[in-house]
Amino acid sequence: MFTLETDQSSSKPEFYESLNLQLTGLLMEEEDMICNLSQFAAFLMQSLEEVNWAGVYFARGEELVLGPYVGKVACTRIPFGRGVCGTAASTQEIQRIANVHDFPGHIACDSASESEIVLPIMVAGKLIGVLDIDSPIANRFDDEDQAGLETLLRTLTQATQFEWQL
CA distance 64 to 145: 24
Nearest approach, Cβ of residue 78 and ligand SME (Å): 6
Q: What are phi and psi of 11, to 5 degrees?
A: -75, 165
CA nearest to 152, candidates 78, 51, 80, 77: 51
Per-residue binding string, ligand SME, 110-129, x by CB under 6 A, is ---x--x-------------
Work out whether 106 is an interface residue with ligand SME (CB under 6 A). Answer: yes
Contact 48, 133 (CB under 8 A): yes
Work out whether 78 is an interface residue with ligand SME (CB under 6 A). Answer: yes
Work out whether 84 is an interface residue with ligand SME (CB under 6 A). Answer: yes
Residues near ligand SME (CB under 6 A), total: 14
Which segment (4-12, 19-27, 76-84, 142-150) binds ligand SME by CB under 6 A?
76-84
Contacts of 72-77 with C-beta under 8 Å, sequence gap 24+, read: 72/109, 72/110, 73/109, 74/109, 74/110, 75/107, 75/109
Contacts of 2-8 with C-beta under 8 Å, sequence gap 24+, read: 2/26, 4/43, 4/46, 4/47, 6/47
Judged by CB under 6 A, the chain residues 54 through 73 that form the site for ligand SME are none
Nearest approach, Cβ of residue 87 and ligand SME (Å): 7
Work out whether 96 is an interface residue with ligand SME (CB under 6 A). Answer: no
Work out whether 132 is an interface residue with ligand SME (CB under 6 A). Answer: yes
Nearest approach, Cβ of residue 92 and ligand SME (Å): 15
- The smaller minimum CB distance to ligand SME, of residues 21 and 137, is found at 137
CA distance 90 to 58: 13
- Length of the chain in terms of residues written: 166
Q: Rule CB under 6 A: which residues touch ligand SME?
A: 53, 74, 78, 83-86, 106-107, 109, 113, 116, 132, 134
